[in-house]
Amino acid sequence: MLVAGIMTGTSVDAIDIATCDIESKGDRHTVSLRSFTSSPFLGDLRDLILRCLAGTATLQEMSDLPFELARGYAASLADHCSANDVHPELVAVHGQTIWHHPPVSTWQAGSGPALSALINLPVVSDFRSADLAVGGQGAPLVPIYDHAVYANDTINRVALNIGGMANMTVLVAGAPLDTLMAFDCGPGNVWMDHAARVTYGKSYDTNGSIARAGRVLRPMLAEMMSMPYFSMDPPKSTGRELFTTQELQRLVTKYSHPSSPLEDVLTTVTELTAWSIVDHVQRYAPSCQEVIVSGGGSQNTYLIERIAELSRESGSAWTISVDPLWAEKEAMAFAYLGWRSLHGLPGNVPSVTGAQRPVVLGTIARA
Amino acid sequence: MLVAGIMTGTSVDAIDIATCDIESKGDRHTVSLRSFTSSPFLGDLRDLILRCLAGTATLQEMSDLPFELARGYAASLADHCSANDVHPELVAVHGQTIWHHPPVSTWQAGSGPALSALINLPVVSDFRSADLAVGGQGAPLVPIYDHAVYANDTINRVALNIGGMANMTVLVAGAPLDTLMAFDCGPGNVWMDHAARVTYGKSYDTNGSIARAGRVLRPMLAEMMSMPYFSMDPPKSTGRELFTTQELQRLVTKYSHPSSPLEDVLTTVTELTAWSIVDHVQRYAPSCQEVIVSGGGSQNTYLIERIAELSRESGSAWTISVDPLWAEKEAMAFAYLGWRSLHGLPGNVPSVTGAQRPVVLGTIARA
């Protein structure tokens, strides 16, 4: 079955669309990428989203948002399908997260019924609400995809995603789904990107070339490593509310002297990110053999090198590789989650989200 | 199949729940009421809804609303099912209308996935969005239920609902669904209720006893009858934005002298409502034999008498009767609409809503 997954992340920069052939062979599912595009949001729609996120939108704009998103998704999907000559039978749309505060509520805007009516295809949407309603965090939802695609009967793996935060799914060889562990290990790109902005005015450190040129500020690194989040045991998750730009600014002011090279801040923050990843792999996936990296941070070659070196220095035997589908993964994961929902299969993993039970995620419109 | 319909209207006073046995016999569907309750909203939830409607809610409250509604619906449904010993297999929930401005957007709050997860049953929700997305007004949706339940092969009927506005579905004997006509003929209770408030401080004119005691202010009636809405041909729909309290106040100030009895205003407004209903039946259902009335206005005995008398005076031959299920009808209609969606049957009628095509309404969660 050809399924389209549509993903729009919290950075509100692009509509990612992946179409995947999804097949079921007994208990095993295969997900093969057929096509992928990432297209920018149109300006008016992006402005509307940002006003809603900022809490400055009117009631009318809040009501319009799910419909304007549906219209935007429909247009992007039509372009995608004609450019790639693909004809999906099902569309899974994550929607735009406007609010996410478990255990009370979560809001991924984007009208499934409107999108279904516009494109004349079944649409699965609103993936996080059901898990939240049964006591889960509504996140992370990608681990079940990691298990389907990366788990191996003989090799112990970790699927690592370096987005704004860094999270990992521990895939012990042959372990069943209901024992899965997945958590945020700490900051991903959030502090590195902020440091790139305040030092060199760049939105991110391409390939990690700035960080590579500097030296680690050891006292600053030591204070960051002592943050209580790092020593907590999973399940745990974090976000920009803990790893704030204000906290980074405070650390920079405290430890970076006017005479020290600007790049040292980036080198230090990159080192923290690498350390927290390696530290968590060693603590919670001690027999890991392979780490497979996705997310924008996978393109920071200096960061990946530092992870590999820190791992070797600590005597670990795992290898690290960048997922060839590092950019496509999240849209593919939601295509898979939509396919599961269509087939009545639960999409959350209670050991990961904290839900009381597995639930079929989302809601299906077939206008 | 036993289906529960949950309806919460714009007056935000109660959660109405009906369970119905719905059966399919060829093209005909039967809908039989099994149980019905109308329970008040809990205070905190009602306050939250009113803040959202007023546009004074925070972003967090706007996000919480669909979840708090789901929790409220789940609690009311659990009470209903245990008190009536019923076990529905499907739940259809209209949701709380927060915004309805076709052709751009409509918003019926109430999370289907959350409700489904809480009650462990399939839930159909968000009935108006798909029709709106294909160019319809997203309303009225009850006419397809009127056609299923009240249409007759030999008797020409009109299903009249007197809510805030008065609307009618013209059921020509044996006529197919796709030729159905339904429209708002003008104000229902909106002006009568307002007049009861400003004259006697009552929320409505019980049985029409106030109106019965007064006399019609003829010049005021004449000016009201000349409002352009009444002479427009269907399709047409209206709301409180046309029949405002300000406009009624202007008319009262213009025509009701300080010495004239207070009840005359109510008598006049009641006469207008009766006249507009009779006038529209004669214009658009000239061969009508039976008018079946539902909605709160069906309990205004003086209004119903005036409709019957005006009809006789004009030489019409139709009878008028109050639907025994006048209070239950809307919740039953949404149970039926949910059942249609579950079976992949369209729920809108393009000749009624103006949509480009019939669409399966809503979205189905099966957590």
Strand, helix or coil at A232? coil
Q: Do A359 and B367 touch (CB under 8 A)?
A: yes
Determine the distance in angstroms separating the CA of B280 from the nearest CA of chain A, rounded to an integer: 33
* Three-state secondary structure readout of chain B: CEEEEEECCCCCCEEEEEEEEEEEECCEEEEEEEEEEEEECCHHHHHHHHHHHHCCCCHHHHHHHHHHHHHHHHHHHHHHHHHHCCCCCEEEECCEEEEEECCCEEEEECCHHHHHHHHCCCEEECCCHHHHHCCCCCCCCCHHHHHHHHCCCCCCEEEEEECCEEEEEEECCCCCHHHCEEEEEEECHHHHHHHHHHHHCCCCCHHHHHHHCCCCCHHHHHHHHCCHHHHCCCCCCCCCCCCCHHHHHHHHHHHCCCCCCCHHHHHHHHHHHHHHHHHHHHHHCCCCCEEEEECHHHHCHHHHHHHHHHHHHCCCCCEEEECCCCCCHHHHHHHHHHHHHHCCCCCCCHHHHCCCCCCCCCEEECC
B318 backbone dihedrals φ, ψ, rounded to 5°: -80, 150
Q: Do B107 and A66 touch (CB under 8 A)?
A: yes
- Tell me which fold the domain B2-138+328-365 belongs to: Nucleotidyltransferase; domain 5 (3.30.420)
Residues 48-77 (B) with a CB less than 8 A from some CB of A: 52, 55, 58-60, 62-64, 66-68, 70
Predicted pLDDT at B257: 86
Closest CA to B303 of B340, B329, B336, B278: B278
From first to last of the 367 residues of chain A, give the pLDDT tens digit: 999 999 998 778 899 999 999 999 988 999 999 999 999 988 899 999 999 999 999 999 999 999 999 999 999 999 999 999 999 999 999 999 999 999 999 999 999 999 999 999 999 999 999 999 999 999 999 999 999 999 999 999 999 999 999 999 999 999 999 999 999 999 999 999 999 998 899 999 999 999 999 999 999 999 999 999 999 998 888 887 889 999 999 999 999 888 889 899 999 999 999 999 999 999 999 999 999 999 999 999 999 999 999 999 999 989 999 999 999 999 999 999 999 999 999 999 999 999 999 999 999 999 9
Q: For residue A134, list chain B residues with Cβ-Cβ distance below 8 A.
A: 117-118, 367
Predicted pLDDT at A357: 97
Q: For residue B123, list chain A residues with Cβ-Cβ distance below 8 A.
A: 363
Residues 214-253 (B) with a CB less than 8 A from some CB of A: none
pTM: 0.93
**Which chain A residue's Cα is nearest to B348?**
A367
Q: For residue A62, list chain B residues with Cβ-Cβ distance below 8 A.
A: 62, 99, 107
What is the gyration radius of the CA atoms in chain B, in angstroms? 21
Predicted pLDDT at B259: 85
Closest CA to A131 of B365, B91, B95, B314: B365
Closest CA to A161 of A8, A291, A6: A291
**Which chain B residue's Cα is nearest to A98?**
B63
- HSE-CB for B109 with a 13 A CA cutoff: 29
Q: Do B117 and A125 touch (CB under 8 A)?
A: no
User: Which residues in chain B are classed under CATH 3.30.420.40?
Assistant: 2-138+328-365, 143-322
Q: Do B126 and A113 touch (CB under 8 A)?
A: yes
Determine the distance in angstroms separating the CA of B47 from the nearest CA of chain A, rounded to an integer: 16
Determine the distance in angstroms separating the CA of A120 from the nearest CA of chain B, rounded to an integer: 9
Predicted pLDDT at B250: 95
Strand, helix or coil at A367? coil
Closest Cβ opposite residue A113 in set B64, B70, B130: B130
Q: Alpha carbon of A27 to those of A24, A32, A148, B280, B320: distances in Å?
A: 7, 17, 9, 62, 62
Q: Do A365 and B367 touch (CB under 8 A)?
A: no
Q: Answer whether CATH 3.30.420.40 is correct for domain A143-322.
A: yes
Give me the residue label for tokens 């052939």. A21
Q: Do B99 and A365 touch (CB under 8 A)?
A: no
Closest Cβ opposite residue B113 in set A104, A130, A365: A130
pLDDT digits (tens, 9 = 90+) for B182-202: 999 999 999 999 999 988 999
Instruction: Give the pLDDT band (50/70/90) at residue B15.
Output: very high
Determine the distance in angstroms separating the CA of A244 from the nearest CA of chain B, rounded to an integer: 21
Neighbours of A77 (CB within 10 A): 24
Suggest the residue from B105, B137, B340 to mutate for an interface test with chain A (most A CBs closer than 10 A).
Answer: B105
- Mean pLDDT on B162-166: 93
Closest Cβ opposite residue A113 in set B52, B55, B362: B362
B268 backbone dihedrals φ, ψ, rounded to 5°: -70, -45
Contact present, A167 and A185 (Cβ < 8 Å): yes
Closest Cβ opposite residue A130 in set B107, B114, B125: B114
Contact present, B20 and B336 (Cβ < 8 Å): yes
Predicted pLDDT at B217: 96
* Three-state secondary structure readout of A128-145: CHHHHHCCCCCCCCCHHH
Q: Is B107 on the interface with A (CB under 8 A)?
A: yes
Determine the distance in angstroms separating the CA of A338 from the nearest CA of chain B, rounded to an integer: 12
Determine the distance in angstroms separating the CA of A134 from the nearest CA of chain B, rounded to an integer: 6
Which ipTM score applies to this complex?
0.93
Task: Report the alpha-carbon angle B85-B89-B94, nearest 5.
Answer: 100
Bridge partner list, B101: B105
Which tokens belong to A296?
């924008």
**Which chain B residue's Cα is nearest to A105?**
B64
CA-CA distance, B342 to B22, in Å (whole number)? 12
Residues 335-354 (A) with a CB less than 8 A from some CB of B: 344
Predicted pLDDT at A217: 96
Determine the distance in angstroms separating the CA of A195 from the nearest CA of chain B, rounded to an integer: 30
Share of chain B above pLDDT 70, in %: 100
The amino acid at residue A274 is A
**DSSP H or E stretch at residue A6:** strand A2-7
Is residue B241 scored above 90 in pLDDT?
Answer: no
Q: Between A and B, how many CB-CB pairs are < 8 A?
A: 148
Closest Cβ opposite residue B132 in set A114, A344, A364: A114
Instruction: Give the pLDDT band (50/70/90) at residue B47.
Output: very high
CA-CA distance, A238 to A102, in Å (whole number)? 12
Is residue B49 scored above 90 in pLDDT?
Answer: yes
CA dihedral for A47, A52, A56, A60, sign (positive or negative):
positive
Q: Do A64 and B131 touch (CB under 8 A)?
A: no
**Which chain A residue's Cα is nearest to B98?**
A63
Which tokens belong to B183?
């429209």
**Which pairing describes strands B90-93 and B2-7: parallel, antiparallel, or unpaired?**
parallel
Q: For residue A104, list chain B residues with Cβ-Cβ distance below 8 A.
A: 64, 67
